[in-house]
Amino acid sequence: MAEILLRVVDKTNEDKALDAQCSKRGDVIVVKPDGWPWGREELKSDVWRIVKLPGVDPDSLFDLTVPQYADGGEEQVVVRKRAKTLAIDKLDSALLTKIDEQKAGDSKAVVELVSKEASDLLAQRETKADGVVRIG
């Protein structure tokens, strides 16, 4: 079973090039195996969800944590924090609400899905648009 740290609120920067490099809603920040000892700020976050995905091998999710690099050049320049995303706004409303809603307490960011919900979420895996980022 896998657990992911999923961003649900866009991170923004007033600089357009830097804004494109910020993590966005649906980006997976971290993939960890079942039972991971998440930190205090992660467990009660307003901008992330810790989504528990039963029956999902963590190794099948690591493509979601790969940045998108600019083509060419000696240095791999990050143009987007993540090349792929989970298009969570395309989920049915019940599952979307389950992910978006905040609970009370110190673990309010934790969302436990059943297998069907995990499959539905991962079905929204998308590669972001081309590597060209408009900066003006």
Partner 1 sequence: MPTTTVKSIGSSGRDYSTIQAWEDACPSNIVTSDEIWKGECHDDSEFVVSNTEILTASGITTDDTRFLWLTTAAGKGFADDAGAASWNLRYDTSVGVAVRTTGNYSGGFHCGSVRVLIEGLQIKFASSWGNSSMFSGSNCMRRCLIDSEKGNTSTNNGRLINCLIVDLSTGFHHAARADAVLIACTIVRPSDASSAGTAVTNSYSLYPSLKSCAVFGFATNFGGTIASYVSSNNNASNSSSVPGTSAQASLTYTDQFENTTNSTRDWRVKAGSSLISNGSRHQGTEGTFSALGTNDLDILGRSRSTTTPTIGCWEVVGGGAFTLTADAGSFTLTGQNATLTRDKVLTADAGAFTLAGQNATLTWGRILTADAGSFALTGQDATLTHAGAGSFTLVADAGSFTLTGQSATLLKTRILTADAGSFTLSGQSATLTWSGEPIVSTPREPQPGYDWGAWVRKLGGPETPYDAYQFTNRKFKDKGNPYE
Residues that bind partner 1 (CB under 8 A): 5, 7, 11-15, 18-23, 29-32, 36-42, 45, 48, 58-59, 62, 65-67, 74-78, 80-81
The residue type of 68 is: Q
2: helix, coil or strand?
A: strand
Measured from the CB atom, is 12 or 127 closer to partner 1? Answer: 12
Concatenate the DSSP letters of all residues of 97-116 into one string: HHHH---SSTTTTEEE--HH
Measured from the CB atom, is 14 or 71 closer to partner 1? Answer: 14
- Segment (H or E) for 117: helix 115-122
Least CB distance to partner 1 at residue 91 (A): 22
Measured from the CB atom, is 42 or 117 closer to partner 1? Answer: 42
Measured from the CB atom, is 114 or 132 closer to partner 1? Answer: 132
CA angle 73–79–83, rounded 5-degree value: 110
CA angle 9–103–23, rounded 5-degree value: 15
Phi then psi for residue 118, to 5 deg, are -65, -40
Least CB distance to partner 1 at residue 56 (A): 14
Least CB distance to partner 1 at residue 42 (A): 6
Least CB distance to partner 1 at residue 116 (A): 26
